[in-house]
Amino acid sequence: MSEFVHKTIGKVVCETAERFPEHPALIAPQFQIRQTYRELYERCRQTAKGLMALGVQKGDHVSVWTTNIPEWVYLQAALGMIGGVLVTINTNYQSHELQYILKQSDTTTLFLIEAYRDTSFYDTARRVLPELDAHPAGKLASANLPLLKNVVYIGPRPETPGMFHFADMIERGRSVSDAELDRRMASLSPDDVINMQYTSGTTGFPKGVMLTHVNIVNNARMVGNVMGMTDRDRLLIQVPVFHCFGCVMSTLNCMYHGSTMVLLEFFDAQQSLEAITREKCTAINGVPTMFISMLNHPDFARYDMTSLRTGIMAGAPCPIEAMNQVRTKMHCPEIVIAFGQTESAPVMTMTRRDDPVELRVATVGRLLADIEGKVIDPETGADLPPNTQGEIVTRSACVMKGYYKMPEATAAAVDRDGWLHTGDLGEVDADGYFKVTGRIKDMIIRGGENIYPRELEEFLFTHPKVANVQVVGIADKKYGEQVLAAIQLKDGVAADAEEFIAFCKGKIARHKIPKYWEFVDGYPMTASGKIQKYKLKEMFEKKYKEG
């Protein structure tokens, strides 16, 4: 593991500011923010002192419940300077989920914005913490959340009983000296846990993935190296920063390589197209649904995409057609695919910028430098030969420390030899290129035949009327499961099940042809734009209850 760097996040930001002081660091067009690395570093130091003035100690858990706002970036770096653990909260969460995260994570300080979409974060927090009215800021005493002391509000309200304003915190930080902050920075170890990401919780309760400075700094370094990121790059950050895609593969990637962050508060196809054109972005990260939405925007042709060079499509299987359009129509010839999961901080494999197109659309690439990976038999644990399907496992200094306060779940995910069991089905060829064929849990077993949704989705994507498609298994008395395809048609076209059945006949095995066809306007999504197949499955299983 000689290549791994042993640096804290604070050290990374400090070194980049020294190397590129006058280089653009953060552009947040919706907030009229344009900062150089010198200015960004200074703002992060002010934020760090503010946190210290609030009493945040090394190892304290600090929850951040906001969209992609500049303060999020300041907090990420500032917590990395003082050793506070950043707990990321999904912007789609409601009161029950907020309370669960705050309690399970032992959070001592919560940052929040006014609102997002139709949810008032301010009102939600007051419902979860009715005691805010009775206690001054910094002295919260909650019966339900006894460790939570500080709530910090970022937004326009002049009066926020029981909460600090972000500006108040910065002001308080003036009482903390540079020397005190430097001493705190020097006391940290790169092996300390610094980030806690809650996994989506597709099964059971969300688990807090504990990631160290070493885990995420190195993942950001390797991801940026594969993309060829330098101080000349400008990365459009439209993915939520509360996920690793946002805070490791995007913000930290830029901070490590001296690249410019072009930050959008949340994904909006038109805002993204405008930002690329106006800021001359060279790189773009997104999940496939984001790219599809941008490509299908009615005014797409009006925007200038020629500055783009590279980017990452990840977070879900990438349709071949979408990949090809991103390369050609979006002028992004060096677009790459990344694969991994939060527990591996997050990226394990990537395609390379100079890989032939066939490899970039048919595989998830090769292992990153210093990362091990292989395919095993999920039943026996035995290593499998090339081109044989099994479970993908990985081992490296990027693998998490564990799930917070969940030793059994940790032992189930990381074995005694340090291998992280991903739960993903896949295979690896003789040249080391991995393919992901599905989740072990997603696999459809119809009458004893294994059917892999990914394979069917790729096939149905070749139909000219399809904008997006998701395949799930529906419980069936006779066969165990039946195949259902939920198809989103392109704008202005119509189709029916008969047309698709005719399209399938003679091209794919009869048992793979979906029994059920649903035409949908959209899919249940996580906040990061990942499609929630289990919700789709639940929805349609109710509809087709008999079988």
> Does 112 fall in a domain?
yes
Pairing label, strands 150-154, 164-165: parallel
Dist. CA 255–CA 220, nearest whole Å: 9
pLDDT at 197 over 90: yes
Domain residue limits at 172: 9-23+34-198
> Does 531 fall in a domain?
yes
Share of the chain above pLDDT 70, in %: 97
- Number of C-beta neighbours around residue 179 at 10 A: 8
Helix (H) or strand (E) holding 471: strand 466-476
pLDDT of 404 reads: 97
Nearest residue to 161 (alpha-carbon basis) of 192, 138, 185: 138
pLDDT at 1 over 70: no
φ, ψ at 121 (rounded to 5°): -65, -35
pLDDT of 511 reads: 82
CATH number of the CATH domain containing 492: 3.30.300.30
Nearest residue to 151 (alpha-carbon basis) of 117, 183, 124, 177: 124
Q: Residue 346 is encoded by which pair of tokens?
A: 């997050």
Dist. CA 302–CA 277, nearest whole Å: 10
pLDDT, tens digit, 9 for 90 and up, residues 87-124: 999 888 888 889 999 999 999 999 999 999 889 999 99
Q: Which of 168, 198, 228 is the last residue of a domain?
A: 198
pLDDT at 209 over 90: yes
Nearest residue to 330 (alpha-carbon basis) of 306, 356, 354: 306
CB-CB contact of 235 with 262 (8 Å): yes
Q: Which of 9-13, 60-64, 539-543 has the lowest mean pLDDT?
A: 539-543
pLDDT of 202 reads: 43
Mean of pLDDT over the chain = 93
> Does 94 fall in a domain?
yes
Helix (H) or strand (E) holding 13: helix 9-19
pLDDT of 459 reads: 86
pLDDT of 547 reads: 45
Pairing label, strands 347-350, 366-367: antiparallel
- From the number of C-beta atoms within 10 Å of its C-beta (0-12, 13-18, 19+), residue 491 rates as exposed
- Grade residue 528 by pLDDT with cuts at 50, 70 and 90: low
pLDDT of 279 reads: 98
Q: Which of 198, 215, 247 is the last residue of a domain?
A: 198
- Grade residue 200 by pLDDT with cuts at 50, 70 and 90: low
Dist. CA 453–CA 167, nearest whole Å: 50
Helices (H), 148-252: 166-172, 178-186, 213-227, 244-246
pLDDT, tens digit, 9 for 90 and up, residues 384-434: 999 999 999 999 999 999 999 999 999 999 999 999 999 998 999 999 999
pLDDT of 360 reads: 86
> Does 383 fall in a domain?
no
> Does 463 fall in a domain?
yes
Task: Report the number of distinct structural domains present in the chain.
Answer: 2
Q: Which of 11-15, 43-47, 376-380, 454-458 has the lowest mean pLDDT?
A: 454-458
Q: Where are the beta strands (DSSP E) in 60-182?
A: 61-65, 85-88, 107-113, 115-116, 119-120, 150-154, 164-165
Q: Residue 274 is encoded by which pair of tokens?
A: 């405008």
Q: Which of 198, 223, 251 is the last residue of a domain?
A: 198
> Does 360 fall in a domain?
no
pLDDT, tens digit, 9 for 90 and up, residues 31-84: 999 999 999 999 999 999 999 999 999 999 999 999 999 999 999 999 999 999
- Grade residue 321 by pLDDT with cuts at 50, 70 and 90: confident
Q: Residue 212 is encoded by which pair of tokens?
A: 């160290």
φ, ψ at 346 (rounded to 5°): -110, -15
DSSP lists the bridge partners of residue 35 as: 26
Mean pLDDT of 180-184: 98
pLDDT at 181 over 80: yes
Q: Which of 156-160, 271-275, 448-452 has the lowest mean pLDDT?
A: 448-452
pLDDT at 85 over 70: yes
DSSP lists the bridge partners of residue 33 as: 28
Phi-psi region of 357 (alpha: psi -120 to 50; beta: other; left: phi over 0): alpha
> Does 270 fall in a domain?
no
DSSP SS3 for 503 = helix
pLDDT of 448 reads: 67
- Say how far residue 206 (Cα) sits from the centre of its chain: 15
> Does 155 fall in a domain?
yes
Confidence (pTM):
0.85
pLDDT at 159 over 50: yes
CATH number of the CATH domain containing 117: 3.40.50.12780
Dist. CA 85–CA 498, nearest whole Å: 54
pLDDT at 522 over 80: yes
- Grade residue 203 by pLDDT with cuts at 50, 70 and 90: very low
pLDDT, tens digit, 9 for 90 and up, residues 463-504: 999 999 999 999 888 777 899 999 999 999 999 999 999 999
CB-CB contact of 466 with 488 (8 Å): yes
Q: Which of 48-57, 159-168, 206-215, 499-508 has the lowest mean pLDDT?
A: 499-508
Dist. CA 177–CA 197, nearest whole Å: 31
Dist. CA 401–CA 421, nearest whole Å: 14
Helix (H) or strand (E) holding 257: helix 253-257
